[in-house]
Amino acid sequence: MPANAFYAQSGGVTAVINASAAGVIETARRHPGKIGKVFAGRDGIIGALNEDLIDTSRESASAIAALVRTPGGAFGSCRYKLKGIDEHRAQYTRLVDVFRAHDIRYFFYNGGNDSADTCLKMAQVSSSMGYPLACVQVPKTIDNDLAGTDNCPGFGSVAKYVATSMREAAFDVASMASNSTRVFVLEVMGRHAGWITAAVGLADDAQHPLPLVLLFPEVPFDEARVLARVDHLVKTRGYCCIGVSEGLRDAGGRFLSESGLRDSFGNAQLGGAGQQVAHLVRERLGHKYHFALADYLQRAARHIASKTDVEQAYAVGRAAVQAALRGESGVMVAIERISDQPYRWSLGLVPLSRVANREHMLPRGFISRDRFGITARARAYLQPLIRGEAGLKFSNGLPAYVRLKNVSIKKKLAPFEG
Amino acid sequence: MPANAFYAQSGGVTAVINASAAGVIETARRHPGKIGKVFAGRDGIIGALNEDLIDTSRESASAIAALVRTPGGAFGSCRYKLKGIDEHRAQYTRLVDVFRAHDIRYFFYNGGNDSADTCLKMAQVSSSMGYPLACVQVPKTIDNDLAGTDNCPGFGSVAKYVATSMREAAFDVASMASNSTRVFVLEVMGRHAGWITAAVGLADDAQHPLPLVLLFPEVPFDEARVLARVDHLVKTRGYCCIGVSEGLRDAGGRFLSESGLRDSFGNAQLGGAGQQVAHLVRERLGHKYHFALADYLQRAARHIASKTDVEQAYAVGRAAVQAALRGESGVMVAIERISDQPYRWSLGLVPLSRVANREHMLPRGFISRDRFGITARARAYLQPLIRGEAGLKFSNGLPAYVRLKNVSIKKKLAPFEG
């Protein structure tokens, strides 16, 4: 009997992480002589610790194929970073025990920076324990801040969503601005790096010129300067649209979302950075505003996913299995850009030591000189990532998504007292 | 020379109001012997008062056709209700003066309840002044609360957007719920009537069963009851999604958005009803939540518009012109439902006196007995309205929308000192 594989989803989910799952599972199924079953961790790595393993062989081929067009994490995810090896060796040996009990020799971990750290440690521990385990990371994060890869699956679809949403809202505000709403604020995700904020900038192009202001997490919030710019745009263009990063900070490095306003109990005010900025626009400038907080909608919006993103998400899952079958371990599949236009890319492998605990920050050269917009270089980088529309099935007017059966296999070990 | 027509957009815009504009303009262009030019009011009726008339004959056939797939109001809109005739007769006589100066004999007003009132008064005043003016309303409102029509263009696309968004977010939350976010709150528009809130209920169906709670503006907010239901769903299903109307009120009839929390200056807290509910979930139940406020995104989301809605929006514009050419006046084009399944509809005319200053409220029979969901009757009504996907053009990965030239004609009158 060929050895089995383990696959888990980690951290915040995306509109396309399930496409990576499909890439892993379908590729494994095409190598029945080399890989037995693919077991998925229920709720991520926690499922492995608890020996709660989902038997994906119970899912039909059509159900797995439907994962390509289904958002969220089909097996559940978790925000759970394994502790250091010295600090908590028991967790790692437990994982090896579980894998050994179920003859798992392949470890595919679908996540971001923290996952790279875990995946690397798993490779090290299993090796030091003399248990052969091919550990390959499948990259995923909406934030695009994963090191070692040109871009990260999950980001392109969020980018497409926020740029589409801002463009559409701008058309709305432009209609109302002469006598009603003049400023529209959209808060987007990306607490540490401004990739998603930059993507909002794509809403504005030669055919759709928008009076747009971007507030990056990389640029300390300068209230007077921002308000002057907004007011100038309202006065010269009639209205203004503001894309605000949830991670916007003041000059002292404090998140706007944690500053200033408090509720009646003295607790920090409910609103985040976008709402703070919108509030200032009204209080200081007197302009009527509307404010939107896309929150999970932006990272779940499979209905407006980027075809490039879906294809890459699938491809990195497939490549992870192929790499493991070639005997690779301790690596992440990485997307390498060959050219911007036409956009060409290929896949490679990068050592996890070059991924873990690093961040791929937005280059300074992507932010325009006035710090309120993006440069041509940023556009050249971003545009290919949002290109193409990825097919959906509709049923009764709504996207039809798949829910798997998610049947656990029988446990063989005693519960983990970790 | 045949007489000219006037068209104006009124009130909050929608994803499909421009499809109605295209229906009016293209139909008028097909009757060159009967209608000369279509002039559009810049920023709605204000444009007529100011004699700021956009010459739509300057726009190419392809630009007008592209309106069908462009959100917002292409000529600008306004929230401006004309005063009563006795109170401000000068406004009405000014309008007649402007129309006479530009030989306008057709008045197409694209709006909701307030517009019906204005359109009716225009018909009455012009008639009493002996100025023949065919006044026909083209229905529009995302809120679906317009009387005299089975449904209203603009609503179906919002309905499709909110149901899609809630379904997608639910798939996201379901993945995270075992150890992170357990409650997702989406606030939707519809301050007075719960049509949009009801549409969120479509996210949940037999293939996509969701633990969903709807908080209608028609149902006074009962904190203990709502929290008990949410907690029950989290405990039995793992998570809970809540669709909250912006118009949610407490038992005393006070909007939640105006109650309770205050900022550090003692001002009413920034958040609306959805944020209040989310905050309560965390404070009282201890569940981690995520909160989204779609705001303008929901009414501008042409990218996920309902094909039914787009078709109806176009058809009511076309029918308005046809009715005016038949000599009708003081009427609104209305959508009549022939059957739910298969969905069949036709257009009729309804006297404006039966539309103005009335509201089409959500039937009590659409809200489930527990008051947290929708009934089968509601589904039968709502489902046809979100059906079908309306074509888009994409350019560089984003929907390509049209901006018209919007050239004003030369003024002939002295400024209005209204």
Among A203, A190, A186, A178, which residue's Cα sits nearest to residue A291? A186
- Domain borders along chain B are 4-154+305-358+389-399, 155-300
pLDDT at B89: 87
CATH architecture of the domain covering A4-154+306-357+390-399? 3-Layer(aba) Sandwich (3.40)
Q: How many C-beta atoms surround the C-beta of residue A272 within 10 A?
A: 22
- Tell me the chain A residues in contact with residue B299 when contact means C-beta distances shorter than 8 Å: 172
From residue A399, how far is each of A32, A333, B88, B165 by CA, in Å?
33, 30, 50, 10
pLDDT in tens, B83-136: 888 888 899 999 999 999 999 999 999 999 999 999 999 999 999 999 999 999
CA-based nearest residue in chain B for residue A76:
B175
pLDDT at A308: 98
Instruction: Decide if pLDDT at B30 tops 50.
Output: yes
- Band (pLDDT 50/70/90 cuts) for residue B264 is very low
Q: How many CB pairs below 8 Å do chains A and B form together?
A: 256
Give the mean pLDDT of chain B. 95
pLDDT at B267: 47
From residue B168, how far is each of A8, A242, B390 by CA, in Å?
21, 25, 20
**CATH pick for B155-300 out of 3.40.120.10, 3.20.20.150, 3.30.565.10, 3.40.50.460:** 3.40.50.460
Question: Regarding predicted confidence, which is higher, B79 or B60?
Answer: B60
pLDDT at A271: 65
Instruction: Decide if pLDDT at B305 tops 50.
Output: yes
Q: At B174, phi and psi to the nearest 5? A: -55, -35
Q: What is the mean pLDDT of residues B351-357?
A: 94
**CA B82 to mean position of chain CA atoms:** 20
Instruction: Decide if pLDDT at B262 tops 60.
Output: no
Rounded CA separation A246/A236 (Å) = 28
Q: Which residues pair with A104 in a beta bridge?
A: A4
The whole-model pTM stands at 0.97
- Which strands, in side-by-side order, build the sheet including B53-55? B53-55, B38-41, B4-9, B104-111, B134-139, B331-339, B344-351
Tokens of B223: 């904190």
| pLDDT cut 90: percent of chain B above it | 91
pLDDT at A309: 98
pLDDT in tens, A278-311: 999 999 999 999 999 999 999 999 999 999 999 9
Rounded CA separation B75/A175 (Å) = 7
Rounded CA separation B238/A42 (Å) = 14
Domains A4-154+306-357+390-399 and A155-300 fall in the same CATH topology: yes
pLDDT at A82: 85
pLDDT at B175: 97
pLDDT at A262: 47
Residues 6+ apart with CB under 8 A from A36: A1, A2, A3, A4, A5, A103
Catalytic residue, from A43, A143, A145, A204: name it.
A143
Catalytic residue, from B143, B145, B204, B309: name it.
B143
CB pair distance less than 8 Å for A398 and B72: no
Instruction: Decide if pLDDT at A112 tops 80.
Output: yes
Instruction: Decide if pLDDT at A177 tops 80.
Output: yes
pLDDT at B259: 65
Q: What angle do CA A13, A18, A19 make, to 5 degrees?
A: 130
Instruction: Decide if pLDDT at A267 tops 50.
Output: no
pLDDT at B257: 85
Q: What is the mean pLDDT of residues B46-52?
A: 97
CB pair distance less than 8 Å for B12 and A176: yes
Rounded CA separation A374/A359 (Å) = 20
Rounded CA separation A7/A42 (Å) = 10
Q: How many C-beta atoms surround the C-beta of residue B65 within 10 A?
A: 14
Rounded CA separation B202/B205 (Å) = 7
pLDDT at A86: 84
A143 a catalytic residue:
yes
Q: How many C-beta atoms surround the C-beta of residue A254 within 10 A?
A: 13
- Band (pLDDT 50/70/90 cuts) for residue A81 is confident
CATH architecture of the domain covering B4-154+305-358+389-399? 3-Layer(aba) Sandwich (3.40)
- Band (pLDDT 50/70/90 cuts) for residue A263 is very low
